[in-house]
Each structure stands twice: as C-alpha cells, then as structure tokens.
Amino acid sequence: MADPRVLAAQALPLIGHLDPEFLKLMDRTREMLRQVFRTANPFTLPISGTGSAGMEAAFVNFVKPGDRVVVGVDGAFGGRMCEVAYKYGAQVERVVKPWGQVFSPDDFKPALAQGGVKLLAVVHAETSTGAWQSMEGLGALAHDAGALLLMDCVTSLAGVPVEVDRWGVDIAYSGTQKCLSAPPGLSPFTLSPRAIEALKARAAVGPLFPGQSIPPSNPNSIQSWYLDMTQLEKYWGADRVYHHTAPISAIYGLHEALALVLEEGLDARFARHAANAARLWAGLKTLGCTPWAAEGHRLPQLNAVTVPAGVDEVKARKALLDDHGIEVGGGLGELKGKIWRVGLMGFSSSPANVARFLEAFTKVLGAQIKVPDASVPLEAALFSSDATASPAAA
Ligand SMILES: Cc1ncc(COP(=O)(O)O)c(C=O)c1O
C-alpha cells in the first residue's frame, strides 16, 4: 500500500519541470535520498522508470561489449541482472547458490581472482526468495580486484539498513513501490566518486557527433540515450539542462515518501519492520508454516513462507484475494508453487495488517488442511516476545 500522504502529494497540481519551485523540490528530494541511502554521494537522483530501469542504468553506464562482470545469482533478480548485463554485451560470470541462500565474500573470490572484472553485482534483498544478503566486506573485495560494487536494493531501501558509503557500494538502485510506499515509477539511484571516475573516463571521448558528420560507431559511447547518467546529471545538477520531461507527480510522491521515512527515523522504521515480521512468524509457526530463506538471513519486509504439504498454493492465494482482499505473491521461477511471499513493507508493515493476514490465512488454510483456531496464531502474534522487545513495537 502506498502511504495516503504520498497519494495526496501525487494528486497536487502540476508545475513545469524547470519551474524554480520544482527545482527546489528536486534538490530536497536528492538530499533526502542521500540520507535514506546513507551516502554523501553527490550523484544521487531518481531515474524515471521502475527498478528495472535502475538495473539497466547500472549496467549500461559501466559495461562495454566484452567487459567481464560477476553476478551473484541466488534468486530471480540476480538472474535478471545477468540478462541485462548480457544484453549490453558483457561477458557474464554467474556465481550461483540455491534459491533462498546467501553469499559469503569468499564465494566471489575465485571469479574475481581471474582479473579484469568491471563489476561485482549483488542483490541485497532477493525479493524472489526473501533472503537478506550481507554486504559486509564486498566493497573491499571488489575494489581490491579493480572492480566496482553494484547493489540492487529495490526491496531493502527504507525497510532494512542500506549503508551505501560504509559498505563501499559504487552503484546502487532501488524502486519506489517497496518499502518507500510510493507508487511504482521511479528508481532511486546513486553513484560513488569511484563510479563517477569510471563514467568520466568513458564519457571523455568527446561529443558524440563532433562537427557536421556522424563518426563511425563509437564503442565507448554509453549504449542508451535515456539512461545516460552523464546527461541526466546535467538536468538534476547545477546546469538544469532539459533532458527528458521529468515525471512531476511521481517526484512529488517520492519527495513525500522520503519525508515520511525521515520523520519516522530510519532506525525506528527498521525496528518496526523487524517487529511486525516477528509477529507474523510467531503466528505462522502455530499454523505449522516454515520460512523458506536461510536462517539468520530473512528479510522482515518480504516473508517467504513454504507451502505446507497437501496445500494447493494457487487456490489459497486466490481465496486470500477474492474472499479477504489480501494479495500475497506466489513463487517466481523455480520456486513457483513452493512458496508464498508475504510483503510487510513500509506503510503496510503494521500489527493490524499482520493480524488481518493471520486471521484470513488461517481460514484459507483451514479450508484445505487441519489448522488450529484463528485465535491461536493471533495470540501468538500479539504476545510475540521479539515484537514486544522492539522499541518500535507500539
Ligand atoms: C530485487 C529486485 N530487483 C529489481 C526489481 C525490478 O523492479 P521493477 O519491477 O520495479 O522494475 C524488483 C522488482 O520487484 C526486485 O524485487
């Protein structure tokens, strides 16, 4: 659910994309994005487009045909990164783990040791499995190998800590529709000074069309016009040069969403997500449900629930939606039919939503297998010790 304040902001009258008031709003949006990414990166802005636009931008600005990239694949979105990198001509090396597990820095060492790697790309919050990848140590690992560290934080930003500077992340992108609780449509994006240097080296070839004649193809040119970050910075930065018409309403919405995050406080927001996930799992456990993702690496905002034996997951999901107005995700790719994905993100992460879900889910499961009375999971959620121990429990 988008926060109602965000929806109200998006309904405000439009002003021009070079209106002085809009320029101020852009600057404030950038500043708040830096706080939420926990970065001092001057190059921080929202890309027009969903999280996948951020993913494309992350690769197309840095990868030339033939460049080596190493991608961690332990779910669907690591796989998507490989496809994107491949489309831009990269030589893609996958480091693979079973879906639901996470990587240790050692897992990437053999691939990086071969040398000549441009990017090490990792998904921080794997939405397809509910796994929470630790980023500790990956910055140094990538930099020692002469590579840039690329992080997908579409599902993590504003739900669990994202520490762009502390982790040495060079390229990060997110999305607005997850823990920021705004409609889909923008991809918050940030580049470290190290990434900017790489970009400058590439863009330094000169104007694409010097003089009157069009030169033969230039392998150094960024293979996207819309997502060329050197051009976007000219609009978002001091030059204020028109590039493409900014999606005004979406930026109003993001501005409001970021203000809401910072009003709550990042740490309080993370604690709220943790407490509500603890409530959810306390209740689910009484129904005999188990998590899919590896222990100690479970996202509180994306809860992957293993489908119990004897349960038709599609039927259960349909009943939740049709009879109770609750939408949960099914499994993607190889997890199709094996898990449900229960989102408790941003505005939706509340004790009331946990209770509403548990009550409905108990009924839906009860139509297929034997489960306790709905009061059992509800009481377990209410008295969950992890949840009540949290400062954000109230
Ligand atoms: C981890 C991750 N990366 C990338 C994406 C793609 O984002 P979008 O669907 O907004 O284009 C998603 C979408 O759910 C995601 O969860």
Rounded distance from Cα 260 to ligand 1 centre (Å): 22
DSSP 307: P
The pTM for the full model equals 0.95
Could you tell which of 132, 152, 154 is best to mutate to test the pocket of ligand 1, judged by most ligand atoms within 8 Å of the CB? 154
Q: Would the CB of 50 count as within 6 Å of ligand 1?
A: yes
pLDDT at position 220, please? 81
* Confidence band for 202, pLDDT divided at 50, 70 and 90: confident
* Confidence band for 209, pLDDT divided at 50, 70 and 90: low
Which amino acid, one-letter code, is at 226? Y
Rounded distance from Cα 51 to ligand 1 centre (Å): 5
Rounded distance from Cα 318 to ligand 1 centre (Å): 23
Given a cut of 90, whether residue 204 has pLDDT beyond it is: no
Residues 32-42 pLDDT 10s: 999 999 999 99
Lowest-confidence pick of 131-140, 206-215, 257-266, 291-300: 206-215
Given a cut of 70, whether residue 26 has pLDDT beyond it is: yes
Rounded distance from Cα 382 to ligand 1 centre (Å): 32
The whole-number average pLDDT for the span 233-248 is: 95
Residue 240, number of CB atoms within 10 A of its CB: 13
Q: Would the CB of 127 count as within 6 Å of ligand 1?
A: yes
Q: Would the CB of 51 count as within 6 Å of ligand 1?
A: yes
Query: CA dihedral defined by 259, 124, 39, 178, rounded to 10 degrees?
Result: -10
Q: Would the CB of 175 count as within 6 Å of ligand 1?
A: yes
What domains lie within the chain, and their CATH numbers? 4-261 (3.40.640.10), 267-384 (3.90.1150.10)
Given a cut of 50, whether residue 266 has pLDDT beyond it is: yes
Q: Average model confidence (pLDDT) for the chain? A: 94
The whole-number average pLDDT for the span 159-179 is: 98
Measured CA to CA in angstroms, residue 190 lies from 105, 142, 168, 257 at distances of 23, 17, 12, 18
Residue 109, number of CB atoms within 10 A of its CB: 13
Tokens of 45: 């802005």
Rounded distance from Cα 202 to ligand 1 centre (Å): 27
Rounded distance from Cα 376 to ligand 1 centre (Å): 35
The whole-number average pLDDT for the span 377-393 is: 70
pLDDT at position 183, please? 98
Rounded distance from Cα 52 to ligand 1 centre (Å): 6
Tokens of 336: 């199709």
pLDDT at position 201, please? 84
DSSP, collapsed to helix, strand or coil, labels residue 155 as coil
Q: Would the CB of 346 count as within 6 Å of ligand 1?
A: no
pLDDT at position 392, please? 35
C-alpha span between 331 and 128 (Å, rounded): 7
* Confidence band for 210, pLDDT divided at 50, 70 and 90: low
pLDDT at position 236, please? 97
With beta carbons less than 8 A apart as the criterion, state whether 377 and 287 touch.
Answer: yes
pLDDT at position 219, please? 74
The whole-number average pLDDT for the span 171-180 is: 98
pLDDT at position 217, please? 72
* Helix (H), strand (E) at residue 174: none
With beta carbons less than 8 A apart as the criterion, state whether 1 and 347 touch.
Answer: yes
Percent of the chain with pLDDT over 70: 95
* Confidence band for 390, pLDDT divided at 50, 70 and 90: very low
Beta bridge partners of 149: 120
Closest among 43, 36, 51 to 170, alpha carbons compared: 43
C-alpha span between 133 and 218 (Å, rounded): 37
Percent of the chain with pLDDT over 90: 91
State the Rg of the chain over Cα: 22
pLDDT at position 218, please? 76
The whole-number average pLDDT for the span 105-120 is: 97
Q: Would the CB of 233 count as within 6 Å of ligand 1?
A: no
Nearest CA to ligand 1 atom 7: 51
DSSP, collapsed to helix, strand or coil, labels residue 16 as coil
With beta carbons less than 8 A apart as the criterion, state whether 131 and 122 touch.
Answer: no
Tokens of 355: 């209770």
Rounded distance from Cα 133 to ligand 1 centre (Å): 16
Beta bridge partners of 152: 123, 173
C-alpha span between 21 and 248 (Å, rounded): 12
DSSP 347: G
Report phi then psi at 162, rounded to 5. -120, 120
* Confidence band for 389, pLDDT divided at 50, 70 and 90: very low
DSSP 340: E
Nearest CA to ligand 1 atom 5: 51
Nearest CA to ligand 1 atom 16: 127
* Confidence band for 355, pLDDT divided at 50, 70 and 90: very high
Given a cut of 80, whether residue 330 has pLDDT beyond it is: yes
Residues 142-155 pLDDT 10s: 999 999 999 999 99
Could you tell which of 77, 153, 162, 171 is best to mutate to test the pocket of ligand 1, judged by most ligand atoms within 8 Å of the CB? 77
Of the two residues 61 and 205, the one the predictor is more confident about is 61
Q: Would the CB of 184 count as within 6 Å of ligand 1?
A: yes
